[in-house]
């Protein structure tokens, strides 16, 4: 069975809906993990997606976060939220994780906290959230069913994953503690299934809107696909769809696409 799975931080599904619907049709994507919906669950375009053949699982509250999984190969055993995850600023969880079984694959869509600044409380929250994610996925990561965690991790795994490491001194997204948390997540049985380099020198996935970030390719690779051994072994191709970052009304992130032969 051939299956195309992707992840995309759309930076407001309302603003990006025409592009999203067109991209789903043109790309032939079977399963899409979405981050930063920035809408309530009720406002999510469930009906428009259903008309294209996709079922939706949504965790959203209309503020600045929100995640979803949409699938045209089945959507079962949905888990909303991060089991055992911390809240911010109090005990209430933010809408940052949703998981489901989509045909032969179990997938998570995650939007890892930004961290803001290294000395900010949000940075500690980010590390606690990643620790909870590690615990939540450990069983599936070591299992025999194809399994992956996809999303905006807000961490560049290595210095090669930012356009100029010197520009990030003292900032989040590149700190040793964040990268160690990613390494601990991979140690549960996951690996980065998107090879580097791809068809260009720096396969970035995010470019700031400001200061001509995209035209100058001043980007970061922070949207990741971490799969277990059965998932990684089925990967036939993987790419960042840079074309979808171009033009008016684009998100500041590009979709990351993985083709599987299961």
Q: Is 261 an active-site residue?
A: no
Q: Which entry of 111, 125, 206, 226 is annotated as an active-site residue? A: 111
Pairing of strands 31-35, 2-9: parallel
Q: Is 125 an active-site residue?
A: no
**117 in a known ligand binding site:** no
Q: Rounded CA gap, 108 and 21, in Å?
A: 21
Q: What is the dihedral of CA 36, 151, 176, 133, to 10 degrees?
A: 100
Q: Is 54 an active-site residue?
A: no
Helices (H), the chain: 13-27, 46-51, 121-141, 176-186, 229-232
**252 in a known ligand binding site:** yes
- Burial class from Cβ neighbours inside 10 Å (0-12, 13-18, 19+) for residue 128 reads middle
**253 in a known ligand binding site:** yes
Listed in sequence order, the residues at least 6 apart from 209 whose beta carbon sits closer than 8 Å to its beta carbon are 252
Q: Rounded CA gap, 113 and 63, in Å?
A: 14
Q: Which entry of 152, 161, 223, 259 is annotated as an active-site residue? A: 152
**Phi and psi torsions of 47, nearest 5°:** -70, -40
Q: Rounded CA gap, 196 and 5, in Å?
A: 18
Listed in sequence order, the residues at least 6 apart from 137 whose beta carbon sits closer than 8 Å to its beta carbon are 108, 147, 149, 185, 188, 190
**9 in a known ligand binding site:** yes
Which DSSP state fits 132? H
Residues annotated as catalytic are 111, 152, 253
Binding residues for Mg(2+): 9, 36, 152, 154, 252-253
Binding residues: 9, 36, 152, 154, 252-253
């Amino acid at each position: 069975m051939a299956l195309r799975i992707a992840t995309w931080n759309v930076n407001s599904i309302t603003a990006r809906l025409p592009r999203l619907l067109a991209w789903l049709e043109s790309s032939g994507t079977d399963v899409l993990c979405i981050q930063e919906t920035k809408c309530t669950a009720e406002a999510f375009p469930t009906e428009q997606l259903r008309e294209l053949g996709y079922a939706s699982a949504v965790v959203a509250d209309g503020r600045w976060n929100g995640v979803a999984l949409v699938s045209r190969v089945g959507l079962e055993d949905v888990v909303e939220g991060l089991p055992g995850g911390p809240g911010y600023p109090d005990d209430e969880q933010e809408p940052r994780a949703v998981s489901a079984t989509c045909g032969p694959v179990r997938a998570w869509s995650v939007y890892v906290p930004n961290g803001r600044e290294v000395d900010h409380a949000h940075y500690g929250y980010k590390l606690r959230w990643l620790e909870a994610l590690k615990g939540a996925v450990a069983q599936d990561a070591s299992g025999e069913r194809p399994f992956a965690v996809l999303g905006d991790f807000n961490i560049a795994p290595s210095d090669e994953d930012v356009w100029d490491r010197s520009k990030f001194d003292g900032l989040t997204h590149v700190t040793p503690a964040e990268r160690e948390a990613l390494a601990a997540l991979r140690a549960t049985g996951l690996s980065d299934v998107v090879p580097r380099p791809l068809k260009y020198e720096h396969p970035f996935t995010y470019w700031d809107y400001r200061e001509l970030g995209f035209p100058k390719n001043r980007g970061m690779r922070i949207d990741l696909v971490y799969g277990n051994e059965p998932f990684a072994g089925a990967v036939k191709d993987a790419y960042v769809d840079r074309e979808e970052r171009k033009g008016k009304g684009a998100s500041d992130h590009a979709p990351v696409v993985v083709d599987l032969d299961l």
